[in-house]
Structure 1
């Protein structure tokens, strides 16, 4: 039995907007980090594999930091009613460290500020991502997450615009702009969400129990419901490959197409627009059909987009094919975490499970850029997107196993699990 306020079953548009603002603030630095830090590393390193490995350090930190901080935020939410204090402390510290990246004059200094930024920013990443589950009823979480992903798409546009207009003129100013967006956006988002009532839906099995982080981790591997583990493995592959594409796309465009650093960093601008326009339609389609099938089809489309990019020979052609890549990623990014929210047995720990989701994503994003970079070293930059296509297709096969897995028998599972059928 579930206790909840009927009024909370409505789609909270204001909350969706403020959550999207928080995610926009957060992703404005991460997107620019992925687009421009590889070019900073190329000043000291020539190997694509090493650059990919170093670009995965932030994700390696996320594997340990994100679930721990997300669990702490669940406990704080239960005690104090919100997660906002952690966000309002972490955002300014991360912004300062991010702004210092272009001021590093040696390789050692660059690594220090990169690792410092990654540690702090990972501390609140999953907390921000869990806000959609906090403020939306399960039946509206795909739409809520679609609005949140629109915030991400806007950061792609912002990053591309900053790269094209500012980077080639003043790279320090270019890094300063996302830092300001992080601080201002997070402050306004937290202030706006404080005026909104969070969604409350606590099952009887959750109400009186307290489960530690270790117990929740063990449950993923010992539960008869294999879908959660299979989904997280698929997230590992999908998010990792997407991160590899993002982190290596700028040097790819420079090496294969002969573009400048600023031009290469802005090549994803049309893809950002495509993601922006497709987000809500994809969410509505998933709610009316099957979220898992939509995710699986999305990864196939992403694979086909990578193959098309491999055959592209100009900046215009690459921009067009990256639209296909973005549409495929849109289908996965909007629905995957919502699927996880719908099948977890402990709804009071949605922040922790969001941390698990981003831990799987971080693990993939730690290894995949280096793997893709190694494949480039063994072949050539020309073949990067062909390698990425194969990795994406493997993720779609994992999602197929999620679709075919039997329904769980555990108590306390969200009723929205029917969307997996």
Structure 2
């Protein structure tokens, strides 16, 4: 992908979002630990269940507003909310203000994302969208590799400095959007009446989403996505519990006398880092390799790799076998990432693209609510029973994706 020919809007967003994403991963992985240390793990666990709900509402509102007042305006609102929340977090006098700031950060990001994705769909021809979305995914995952390593030091020892840095970066990004990024809302959407009073506008938004979810094809797509995400989301859920509790300490290089010995916790850290590294190295090449594949086949391949790879984790505890199966289920996630956004941006009507992008995020919100059930079930089921459930979810998603494209009437 030649970045020099990209629209200026995309270049500004690529740089801004990549930089912010690295800062995001410097605090996000440690936020549950932070609240657990202050309030106890049981309370922290309950508190962590609430942000996805607010994010879902913010995403729906952001998508509707993106189709009504414009992509750029909604992105500015999202960036402004996040800037204010980082500043609030930095000067917070109590743990509860910290929590409100954290919820606000999720809300601001949820408002921002549908408009951001819709802007890509507005600017990029359908045949190039996978590559563009893959480039954004690569930039974001560079932050996911570097961020946790730096955050382990900065979040706990220099938290205020880190939070102020995040606030300043978001403020600069807000200014860049305001000064450089132009509006891309299609003319068909601009023709809608914007003089509607607030209550009527809200009713219209709810009505719009009702139409979306009565769309049979879109509904199957959401349900299939939820089922396929259950395996993909296990890396920081059940796999963390399984590797930490069930995998014994072992040498990393058994053929060397002075090889480091990894505990289950340390091995899990290696798997997380390896997962992020694979994303950075391969999301663009894999997207390019599969650019001529039908969307149906990419979705099926993704579910198959994620399901089989995650299931295989329970078959052997050897470190190199675990790295091998991590490669399999990571590639299941890699091949899925760009095609989901390109599918929905091509399927959604031009005048309702923001709403469809927002509704598309529901599969991630609901998936994030359902995926932790594997951790709860692990208290009374053996590991292979849990891995079996994960594999069944993947197989269900494959059946639904086949049905999806039959209902759509083509095999794109």
Shorter-chain TM range is 0.7 to 0.9
Structure 2 CA distance for partners of 1:255 and 1:178, relative to 1, 3 Å: farther
Of stretches 390-399 and 192-201 in structure 1, the one that deviates more from structure 2 is 192-201
Q: What is the Cα deviation at residue 193 of structure 1? A: 8.7
Q: What is the Cα deviation at residue 303 of structure 1? A: 1.2
Q: Which residue of 2 aligns with 1:273?
A: 277
Contact 2:79-2:173 within 8 A present in 1 as well: no
Matches of 2:240 and 2:116, distance apart in 1: 27
Of stretches 253-262 and 273-282 in structure 1, the one that deviates more from structure 2 is 253-262
Q: How does 1:401-420 map to 2 (within 5 A)?
A: 401-407=403-409, 420=411
Q: Which residue of 2 aligns with 1:191?
A: 176
Matches of 2:150 and 2:187, distance apart in 1: 44
Q: Which residue of 1 aligns with 2:81?
A: 90
Q: What is the Cα deviation at residue 157 of structure 1? A: 0.4
Q: Which residue of 2 aligns with 1:12?
A: 6
Of stretches 82-91 and 335-344 in structure 1, the one that deviates more from structure 2 is 82-91
User: What residue ranges of structure 1 are gaps of 5+ in the alignment?
Assistant: 1-9, 408-417
User: What's the CA shift string for 1:61-94, capped at 9, x where partnerless?
Assistant: 122121112222332227xx64442133122124
Q: Does 1:69 align with 2:73?
A: no
For 1:379, which of 378, 381, 384 is the aligned residue? 381
Q: Does 1:217 align with 2:181?
A: no
Q: What is the Cα deviation at residue 140 of structure 1? A: 1.8
Q: Which residue of 1 aligns with 2:293?
A: 289
Of stretches 321-330 and 190-199 in structure 1, the one that deviates more from structure 2 is 190-199
Q: What is the Cα deviation at residue 321 of structure 1? A: 2.8
User: What's the CA shift string for 1:326-374, capped at 9, x where partnerless?
Assistant: 21111112111221111112x13322221111123212212322x1221
Q: Larger Rg: 1 or 2?
A: 2
Name the SS of the counterpart of 2:271 in structure 1.
Answer: coil
Q: Which residue of 1 aligns with 2:331?
A: 327
Q: What is the Cα deviation at residue 294 of structure 1? A: 0.6
Q: How does 1:6-405 map to 2 (within 5 A)?
A: 12=6, 15-25=9-19, 27-28=21-22, 31=25, 35-40=29-34, 43=37, 54-77=47-70, 82-96=73-87, 111-162=99-150, 166=153, 171-173=156-158, 177=162, 180-181=165-166, 183-184=168-169, 187-188=172-173, 191=176, 195=180, 202=187, 208-209=191-192, 212-223=204-215, 226-239=216-229, 241-247=231-237, 249-257=239-247, 259=263, 264-265=268-269, 267-313=271-317, 317-345=321-349, 347-369=350-372, 371-379=373-381, 387-405=389-407
Q: Aligned pairs, how many?
A: 385
Name the SS of the counterpart of 1:405 in structure 2.
Answer: helix
User: What's the CA shift string for 1:131-182, capped at 9, x where partnerless?
Assistant: 322432333211111111112321220234235x627xx6243696477357
Structure 2 CA distance for partners of 1:352 and 1:221, relative to 1, 3 Å: closer
Structure 2 CA distance for partners of 1:24 and 1:399, relative to 1, 3 Å: farther
Q: What is the Cα deviation at residue 13 of structure 1? A: 6.1
Of structures 1 and 2, the one with the larger relative CO (CA 8 A, separation 6+) is 1
Q: TM-score, normalised by structure 2?
A: 0.76
Structure 2 CA distance for partners of 1:286 and 1:69, relative to 1, 3 Å: same
User: What residue ranges of structure 2 are gaps of 5+ in the alignment?
Assistant: 194-200, 250-262
Contact 1:15-1:193 within 8 A present in 2 as well: no
Structure 2 CA distance for partners of 1:306 and 1:175, relative to 1, 3 Å: farther
